[in-house]
Amino acid sequence: MAPAASRTVVLTRQPVQAGAVEAGLAAAGYRLAFLPLTDFELPADLAGLRAAVRRVEPDAGNDGGDPAGLDGTAGVTPALAWLVLTSPNTVRALVRAGWDGRLAAGLRVAVTGPGTARVLAEAGCTEIPWMPEGDASAAGILAQFPPPGDTPSRVVLLPQSALATDEVAEGLTERGWEVHHVQAYRTVPHPAATERRLLGGLPPEAESAETVSVDDLTGADVVLTSPSAVRELVRRRGTAVPAGTRFIALGQPTARAAAAESLHLAATAPSPDALGVLAVLGLGHRV
């Protein structure tokens, strides 16, 4: 294998989404580039999302007295026990709908992993979120999420992407929770409509990030960061693998999407983080 410094790792997302994975790869000596394939925008109808914000805010609905339900209709809604956030974009969508990061008294918050926790803190939330240990994924949440027990409420608010599967909702329901699901955002081909786009301008540290097109992948290690990125990549360029290129899935859901699209993978990272990617690149011992 070529030394790290001579190979480029392309991540199929936008520079503004860069986080711990990119930092770990850069520290290992890789040159990074980004291939923006998908983007994220608010749903056309914001009634459900705004109702969700009212449910989680202090003194605004977690006492069962909210005048509007999660679907925007009149009615009394039950108190919440948990707010479960499965992606950073869910947090961004709530903020765009008016949330300032504060939580109603007694409401706990759960996140998939450190990336979502970081964006949650940036949104102004001072609560330390619960997150699964060792598996920053939906499977990790379902394997480790606390049971209802004797909690006064069994209601979980689960805002998610329109593309999200029923895995988390059904899994939590099977464990005894009453799940209230709401669409938080839509995944669309990059770029999204300006007026509804979730991701803003680049932070200063990302302004110089290199971006590439689907025609610039020869000889690169391409980290497929999501199922939607896989589908958009195949839509734009088909399933042919460029010379010297290796496609690497960041986690099992992305690997399953690649299999469904008949896109050949060189490897699947054993964990959706820098260590997982470095392990399949043969450099896990360097971090």
Q: Each residue's pLDDT tens digit in the chain (287 positions)?
A: 445 556 799 999 999 888 889 999 999 999 999 999 999 999 999 999 999 999 999 975 444 444 344 544 445 567 899 999 999 999 999 999 999 999 999 999 999 998 899 999 999 999 999 999 988 788 889 999 999 988 889 999 999 999 998 999 999 999 999 999 999 999 999 999 999 999 976 555 556 789 999 999 999 999 999 999 999 999 999 999 999 999 999 989 899 999 999 999 999 999 888 999 999 997 543 43
Task: Identify the pLDDT of residue 285.
Answer: 38
Final residue of a structural domain among 121, 154, 187: 187
Task: Identify the pLDDT of residue 152.
Answer: 87
- Is 65 within a domain? yes
Task: Identify the pLDDT of residue 243.
Answer: 94
- Is 192 within a domain? no
Comparing CA positions, the residue from 159, 162, 80, 85 lying closest to residue 125 is: 85
- Is there a single domain that holds both residue 16 and residue 98? no
Write out the two tokens for 160. 């998610």
Domain with residue 276: its CATH number is 3.40.50.10090
- Is there a single domain that holds both residue 100 and residue 226? no
- Is there a single domain that holds both residue 57 and residue 183? yes
User: Structural domain of residue 148, as residue ranges?
Assistant: 41-187
* Predicted TM-score (pTM) of this structure: 0.81
Comparing CA positions, the residue from 272, 255, 277, 273 lying closest to residue 264 is: 255
- Is there a single domain that holds both residue 130 and residue 57? yes
Comparing CA positions, the residue from 171, 156, 173, 178 lying closest to residue 81 is: 156
Task: Identify the pLDDT of residue 72.
Answer: 44
Task: Identify the pLDDT of residue 67.
Answer: 38
- Is 163 within a domain? yes
- Is there a single domain that holds both residue 105 and residue 124? yes
Cα separation, 248 vs 268, whole angstroms: 5
Task: Identify the pLDDT of residue 191.
Answer: 93
Task: Identify the pLDDT of residue 204.
Answer: 55
- Is there a single domain that holds both residue 181 and residue 45? yes
Task: Identify the pLDDT of residue 19.
Answer: 86
* Region of residue 266 (left: phi > 0; alpha: psi -120 to 50; beta: else): alpha
Number of domains in the chain: 2
- Is there a single domain that holds both residue 73 and residue 150? yes
- Is 193 within a domain? no
- Is there a single domain that holds both residue 56 and residue 169? yes
Q: What does each C-alpha distance from 9 to 43, 102, 123, 162, 220 come to in angstroms?
A: 32, 38, 30, 29, 6
